[in-house]
């Protein structure tokens, strides 16, 4: 019995440090699992943020297009009023169409620019982060191009 107690006394610190090391390994494994879960959650959060930005970019481009359509309608009304005031009633309709043709062309160009953004929301949900970033850039470029079209409208002088 004395030899067993002597053995325990001699190796007590090694046994205690072995138990502490085992506890530290278990704790490190749990911390690694939590860190992996946090990384997955952060990636999912980043993708969700990109999806939201992509949706907002698309909405902004659509709103700018609707604003362009409204401006085109106002410009057509100005030309119509101008023609009613300054052109003879029995005059040629070709002159009226020539004056307003650019309005329809600008509106069609805006519609054409908006077409690549018209994807399904379910398709937007399946995109990865790189594709979403590309879509966001496309939406911003499209919105800027549509906005520039407004400056090409010419009201009557």
Write down the pLDDT at residue 112.
Answer: 94
pLDDT in tens, 84-128: 787 766 555 656 667 778 899 999 999 999 999 888 777 877 888
Q: 124 in a domain, yes or no? A: yes
Would residue 135 count as lying in a domain? yes
36 token code pair: 């992996």
In a domain? residue 5: no
Residues 6+ apart with CB under 8 A from 79: 96, 99, 100, 103, 155, 156
Asked if residue 28 is part of any domain, the answer here is no
Query: How many distinct structural domains can be found in the chain?
Result: 1
pTM, full prediction: 0.73
DSSP 153: -
Q: Say if CB 77 and CB 129 are below 8 A apart.
A: no
Tokens standing for 144? Answer: 């800027």
Quote the domain boundaries for residue 49. Answer: 40-152
**9 belongs to a structural domain:** no
Q: What is the pLDDT of residue 110?
A: 94
Q: Is residue 48 in some structural domain?
A: yes
What are the average pLDDT values for consecutive 10-residue runs of the chain, which has 157 residues? Answer: 73 86 96 96 92 93 95 90 73 65 92 88 83 94 95 85
- 18 within some domain: no
Q: What is the DSSP string of 75-133?
A: HHHHHHHHHHHHS-TTS-HHHHHHHHHHHHHHHHHHHHHHGGG---HHHHHT--HHHHH
Domain assignment present for 16 = no
Report d(CA 24, CA 18) in Å as an integer: 10
């Amino acid at each position: 019995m004395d030899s067993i107690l002597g053995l325990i006394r001699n190796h007590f610190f090694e046994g205690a440090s072995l138990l502490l090391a085992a506890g530290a390994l278990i704790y490190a494994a749990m911390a690694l699992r939590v860190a992996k879960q946090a990384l997955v959650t952060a990636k999912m959060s980043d993708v969700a943020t990109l999806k939201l930005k992509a949706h907002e970019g698309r909405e902004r481009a659509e709103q700018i297009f609707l604003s362009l359509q409204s401006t085109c309608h106002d410009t057509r009304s100005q030309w119509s009023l101008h023609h009613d005031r300054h052109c003879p009633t029995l005059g040629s309709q070709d002159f009226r169409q020539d004056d307003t043709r650019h309005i329809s062309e600008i509106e069609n160009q805006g519609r054409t620019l908006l077409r690549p953004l018209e994807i399904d929301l379910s398709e937007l949900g399946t995109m990865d982060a790189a594709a979403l970033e590309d879509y966001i850039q496309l939406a911003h470029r499209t919105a800027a191009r549509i906005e520039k079209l407004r400056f090409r409208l010419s009201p009557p002088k």
